[in-house]
Structure 1
């Protein structure tokens, strides 16, 4: 390696002084008088040539060119051409075996600050000088240069890629390779420095004999400094005037390239766009706390102040803790649901802890941690802690609208503006022109009270797309592993380590932005097309005046600001039932209360009348189907399933095959049955829909009002009878459709009356059935074992009850689709105007379609913003590369080279992302350079629909087509040149 210089002093073997410099880049330099004595095979450049007591260990795994010599088969060949040979560590022959031995014991000396071994005034290092490297702990002898041109000792070590643990009397150094390996390993695996040092000890000796003196504390100090220096280097601190003294709070943080940054990646006029496009410039912030990243009362800030607290992600300690202390007596009152946020806000579980956890703010779209968005929790998740990091983050937000997601936003947001005015420090107060929209993450929403929480639902907030705001949980998941390592660290060291890991998380998100946005875009286009088409079908099945009325209610709700006072289109009444729609259920309940029972939907008198009609109809068979007897003789019918009367075949024209129908039946009889079947199909579907509505109301009534086993069993019996009625209607539809197919064959009528599957028979409030997860081959998951034990239902059976959805399954609201039975043209009736459930479901369907459109638009805009940000960042680094004349030449060259490398990296990322996003970006081709308005023509400009685009997940060239394909226009995309940036 370039920093290694070896000096061997064996006065008995060498007559004259010898200088040896043998590295990876250099060749052996030796006086000719002694060259012949070294021309022996299987020797090294530093070992006595005629001493048989020493030999080379043939195992090359532990050899490292930094600390040891190189094997040479022939010195003359090595001087001419330098082929790479197998490298080995030093071993001593004991007479029976090889024994490893240190280079120091052989007289190895590393001379610093000289291209050769010779120094006129060498200064010896500490007697117990140790170098930590990737292959173990090495005891070596080092000599500093004491010549007139000498430089400080620690600089001499750094130039040889040795990082000293101190600057006065250096006893421990670590190679740059070791620090780099430890740094990347800890970031990737969350392994602690202590575990890594234990591994080094085992690499050095795994016998427990001659274990080196522990240098763990020295390694811990070095890796802390290494982390800090790397963050300073990547942030370009050395390139700015003033250096470290000019660092601003949050400057070392890796910024989100997809977030809106005015003057960097936003086009001119972004703040004057129409209302329907303002959501494109909304900042989405997610906030939450973590109770695993604790910190014990170890050390203090006087002894461990930290190297850069407040320079990246952790907020400055003093102003933050002063504000929290001033609100120490504040009582956080729960008005909705406790959750863990307030449950642990005032408990005694923090004994022996300096901090009980961390709170954080994250970008809701990119999942990147925001600058100065992390704080420590002193006593649980209190409002004062969350307020401060929220206000601290807002200082980096320059747009006007901010959507803030918090799992208890329904409580925290109530008095937020009052706390801002009365308690917040001036340096974190938001700008007066800012607008805040509160939201609850989608996974946490079902745990809240249902009443009045639609205003906090991301499913109904305009402009949020498919954002679930659960990204904070995804941030905490990998960082929870840091708890064991950071809980026993000093306060300053812990915050430095957390800053470093948060920066690594952001960098990983930064460089993977291309594949992430592309994957989301493909999924969003599919989901958008599905939701838009489903909503269109539902809308067309309803009366236009009714749809217009509901559309007006939804539009007023969307335009209303928080707290909303307009009519809530998504909210159901207290009982969720109207009297005139509950008459059938009430009659059955009253009849059951009087002791009566219903064996079937058909009453006894109706059953007798139907029997008489069947008897009369049976006598008419020879008249209307005179050839039936001969047909049975020529073509024996299949035997019935049983001798029961209900299993006997009724010989209608549809039961007879087409070649024989005209010969057996009277003229026109098949046409009459087909017309009756045409009426029977929509009637059967309407009956199914009515029964599903009744059942959904009964279930709501049961869940709200019925308590106890006896009443619950009775109410369940009523619901089961309704279930039987639905099964009868479903079988009626299937029989009618089979008959229609036999009479008319395939045709356009199948586009309206589809095959009725069990999964299609569900209410419009029920989510899609869960997809069964498949585990490893030969291994069943727990839920699969339970399902395997279930008895499969018959072909005519189905369930109308919702599946049990676990926490990881979510609510299914974002990607829920309506069954086709609700999309037929016969779904509307005069009662729909008063049906609050249907109105609520239509509004929810409208919201799902709108969120799908917004998601595609947001992703296109984020792609454009990322490319603009990368171009700006590349220019930023090029400007940093213009070094002033007052900097030393060697430092200026390094700074200039590093800036050029970083600029090239930003350009390479931009080119890579642009290639991935070619298809989506083609739809936002620059035209005028201004923010577009919503227009009617589609983006494809060919008049064709694009609902089938981006169906193939494996095709990177899939296009999503236009973003608005309904009555409310089309989105053109932000029209800005790829090179236009601030």
Structure 2
């Protein structure tokens, strides 16, 4: 508004504009004025507007008059705040796509109205939030078809608003006739893949309560129905969760014990292991940590009423959780009891599996389990990664609103997966593309057919044949006693030669020198002469090294080969060699175990620990494990150096190699990559280095189909090329994880070959299963979309008793949704045409593939076979 010198802001109300509702652009003959304090919140700001309700013969309820004008009232009675549909759509989409805080969005709307800081409009944040909460719920009800049912929102059953995975097998929907009687080797095609995990980021403070904030979605979508779930968890409050696997419990307790001020410490959930979609009623709040009771209820909700024969369950601690799961099932609620005869297959996700103990853990490996294809079981991590950004806003929400927001965001995640199923399967499908083996094949077949826990021989495990330090001590004691008896000689000292050497090895670590000098003079009588010839005075040695840890012990390995004959009693150097060999093996095993524990702890810390206090506490625990690993490294290096001095160079160095710092890394870690250094400049006084030719520039280009390799031709986003060093068949293991015994007989050789052959066989079978699974999932997706389209068609004429305009809207919406399902099916089918042809070729090739020990890996690329440490040169 011009005031004579400049424009000043004004309102539509001040310039005389009055909006007449229920009359289009016309005026109502008998208008009723609205509240003069009415404010309309729009995408352009908070506006003062004068409204007039219709009061003539065409009058309808006032809330309907506002809704038909695209205005959502914050209350049903004295309306003082309305939010436009345009703003609600924007707030809803921004909160889903960008996880943007609604409070920050509203503050931005206020600043659009007046950014001067004076004459700011009165806050309408709470009414706006109330409108958005209702908007989310109404959208979910509409998309779930509840508006087409006469019972409306009140008749919504548990999980009905969840978007179901179209690729999951559902009898009566997308499975063929006779699916339940297929041969056993084909049952994996009709198995469910369930992945479970917990998330400790999505905490909730003790803000408000369920009486004041009950929520609108309770049990309708992805969150469990609150009352039955909490009653069950409360009934299991005294149950003990015991772990005998990898030692991460100390870290878990240290970071979850402080629950003061928290209503929930996080959430647990179950997802489809193939499509990564969240399953209905499978997200539950954690009252205090990741307990079996919480995970049991989540799993039971995920598989309830399933008529399938096989369920593959992936969980990072399934080796512990699964032990007594059938005993705990007896306490599950009756409505969640699984079908009798259901076959469960426990698995550990690929990234988590190396951090566990090795004992019989091959039965939990995705790489070795039958019927899982190339699944990795890590889909919960990807789901949590997309939703961790909600932690900041949901932490201080009321309990009901928080659950509604989580339901809404998980629904959005599922819709993105649902609508992009064609692109997802397309990218995966285009990326795929005998002598003494009979007994090994039989061994692998028996392993695959055995149930859990497996009791048959493990074809993937090489039997341990290296000697431990304790066993070496016993063996040398027996040999020494037998030698003395055969020679008819008495022991020269009450401390045997073996005990003398063991004492020396212990001194390397403990540095306790009592009685050492006396016993050493018995078994190394010539040492004093050697020290004298070298001009060394034992007393001077002590005076020059006042610290016990700096005193040289003068073991046989610390003197030359020629001097050992004169200084040592018979066979003493050979005894030390035997002990040093055992010490090398035990040191490596201790180092591997320390690295397993450290890997697990670091993963737990990065995933769940936030804040300086908890971070420092967990870091101190990890540092203790790190110091233990350093001790094993020092022990191994000392033992290897002594063995080299005693035995000299030889083939044993292929087993016990020199341990460099870059070799000390976890099982799941690839070889460290050197980051490119900063290029110098002339100002530094040095000429810039010439750019190096990278290895990638010298590699030959892969032969491929240009139609498949150019995703932009199909309107898809560009795909990243697969990098080296990723996955089971491409990562470069440190040699410490591949160490074999020094001497192998014929049986040991066969064990090594058998284990590698079994793993090669498993890689080929997983690739073949992945191809078959993808083809079956393509068929199931198309069938599910067809069934969903027919479901919407049947919703068009379900409410014949309603007004004509309402019946028209109901029919139009149902027709639009049915057309959407058919459009998705047509797009997916067209997208999959070329990959399906390549799948047929790949299947034909796999049927004739001969499994060899050092053949190509599962993706058919053997160009970098020399980088594969798991392949044994036979």
Same fold (TM over 0.5): yes
CA distance in 2 between counterparts of 1:325 and 1:121 reads 60
SS at match of 1:174: strand
SS at match of 2:83: strand
List per-residue Cα deviations over 1:529-585 (Å, max 9, x = no partner): xxxxxxxxxxx5xxx12x212111111101111111110111232345799xx9xxx
Q: Does the Cα contact within 8 Å between 1:130 and 1:137 map onto a contact in 2?
A: yes
Q: 1:340 to 1:288 in 2, by over 3 A?
A: farther
Q: Tell me the equivalent position of 1:512.
A: 420
Q: Tell me the equivalent position of 2:849.
A: 966
Pairwise CA distance, 1:700: 5.0
Q: Tell me the equivalent position of 1:298.
A: 207
CA distance in 2 between counterparts of 1:767 and 1:459 reads 14
Query: Which structure's CA Rg is the greater one?
Result: 1
Q: Tell me the equivalent position of 2:7.
A: 98
Q: Does the Cα contact within 8 Å between 1:442 and 1:458 map onto a contact in 2?
A: yes
Q: 1:148 to 1:345 in 2, by over 3 A?
A: farther
Q: Does the Cα contact within 8 Å between 1:344 and 1:381 map onto a contact in 2?
A: no
CA distance in 1 between counterparts of 2:227 and 2:766 reads 42
1:912-931 maps to which residues of 2 (within 5 A)? 912-922=827-837
SS at match of 1:372: strand
Q: Does the Cα contact within 8 Å between 2:165 and 2:418 map onto a contact in 1?
A: yes
1:389-538 maps to which residues of 2 (within 5 A)? 389-395=298-304, 397-421=306-330, 423-525=331-433
Q: Does the Cα contact within 8 Å between 1:578 and 1:835 map onto a contact in 2?
A: no
Q: Tell me the equivalent position of 2:242.
A: 333
Q: 1:776 to 1:271 in 2, by over 3 A?
A: farther
Q: Tell me the equivalent position of 1:852.
A: 767
List per-residue Cα deviations over 1:41-71 (Å, max 9, x = no partner): xxxxxxxxxxxxxxxxxxxxxxxxxxxxxxx
CA distance in 1 between counterparts of 2:88 and 2:581 reads 63
* Corresponding position: 1:264 with 2:188: no
Comparing 834-843 with 849-858, greater Cα deviation is found at 834-843
Q: Tell me the equivalent position of 1:704.
A: 589
CA distance in 1 between counterparts of 2:459 and 2:103 reads 59
CA distance in 1 between counterparts of 2:669 and 2:209 reads 55
Q: Tell me the equivalent position of 2:545.
A: none
Q: Higher relative contact order at CA 8 Å, sep ≥6: structure 1 or structure 2?
A: 2
Comparing 208-217 with 449-458, greater Cα deviation is found at 449-458
- For residue 836 of structure 1, the aligned residue among 747, 751, 772 is 751
Q: 1:393 to 1:727 in 2, by over 3 A?
A: closer
- For residue 456 of structure 2, the aligned residue among 549, 558, 566 is 566
Q: Does the Cα contact within 8 Å between 1:767 and 1:812 map onto a contact in 2?
A: no
List per-residue Cα deviations over 1:903-952 (Å, max 9, x = no partner): 1111111111111110343478xxxxxxxxxxxxxx55xxxxx5xxxxxx
Aligned residue-pair number? 655
1:769-848 maps to which residues of 2 (within 5 A)? 770=671, 772=673, 812-815=727-730, 831=746, 834-848=749-763
TM-score by structure 2 length? 0.69
Q: Tell me the equivalent position of 1:636.
A: none
CA distance in 2 between counterparts of 1:809 and 1:382 reads 38
Q: Tell me the equivalent position of 2:637.
A: 713
SS at match of 1:131: strand
Q: 1:818 to 1:328 in 2, by over 3 A?
A: closer
Q: C-alpha root-mean-square deviation of aligned residues, in Å?
A: 3.6
CA distance in 1 between counterparts of 2:42 and 2:584 reads 69
Q: 1:723 to 1:391 in 2, by over 3 A?
A: farther
Q: Tell me the equivalent position of 2:497.
A: none
Q: 1:914 to 1:696 in 2, by over 3 A?
A: farther
Q: 1:870 to 1:339 in 2, by over 3 A?
A: farther
CA distance in 2 between counterparts of 1:425 and 1:766 reads 41
Pairwise CA distance, 1:446: 1.6
* Corresponding position: 1:557 with 2:462: no
Q: Does the Cα contact within 8 Å between 1:131 and 1:140 map onto a contact in 2?
A: yes
Q: Does the Cα contact within 8 Å between 1:289 and 1:359 map onto a contact in 2?
A: yes
Q: Tell me the equivalent position of 2:812.
A: 897
Q: Does the Cα contact within 8 Å between 2:91 and 2:105 map onto a contact in 1?
A: yes
List per-residue Cα deviations over 1:668-710 (Å, max 9, x = no partner): xxxxxxxxxxxxxxxxxxxxxxxxxxx9999755412696566
Q: Does the Cα contact within 8 Å between 2:137 and 2:216 map onto a contact in 1?
A: yes
CA distance in 2 between counterparts of 1:399 and 1:297 reads 41
Q: 1:598 to 1:556 in 2, by over 3 A?
A: farther
Q: Does the Cα contact within 8 Å between 1:341 and 1:381 map onto a contact in 2?
A: no
Pairwise CA distance, 1:98: 1.1
Q: Tell me the equivalent position of 1:863.
A: 778
Pairwise CA distance, 1:137: 0.7
Q: Tell me the equivalent position of 2:145.
A: 236
SS at match of 2:96: helix
1:157-306 maps to which residues of 2 (within 5 A)? 157-306=66-215
Q: 1:345 to 1:364 in 2, by over 3 A?
A: farther
List per-residue Cα deviations over 1:774-820 (Å, max 9, x = no partner): 889989xxxxxxxx9xx99xxxxxxxxxxxxxxx999842556999x
Q: Tell me the equivalent position of 1:880.
A: 795
Q: Tell me the equivalent position of 1:379.
A: 288
Q: Does the Cα contact within 8 Å between 1:111 and 1:145 map onto a contact in 2?
A: yes
CA distance in 1 between counterparts of 2:725 and 2:359 reads 19
1:631-650 maps to which residues of 2 (within 5 A)? none
CA distance in 1 between counterparts of 2:86 and 2:769 reads 48
Q: Does the Cα contact within 8 Å between 2:373 and 2:766 map onto a contact in 1?
A: yes
Q: Does the Cα contact within 8 Å between 1:345 and 1:381 map onto a contact in 2?
A: no
Q: Which blocks of at least 5 consecutive residues in structure 2 are unaligned?
A: 477-500, 503-554, 563-579, 592-630, 655-662, 681-688, 694-722, 735-743, 852-874
Q: Does the Cα contact within 8 Å between 1:857 and 1:963 map onto a contact in 2?
A: no
Q: Does the Cα contact within 8 Å between 1:163 and 1:222 map onto a contact in 2?
A: yes
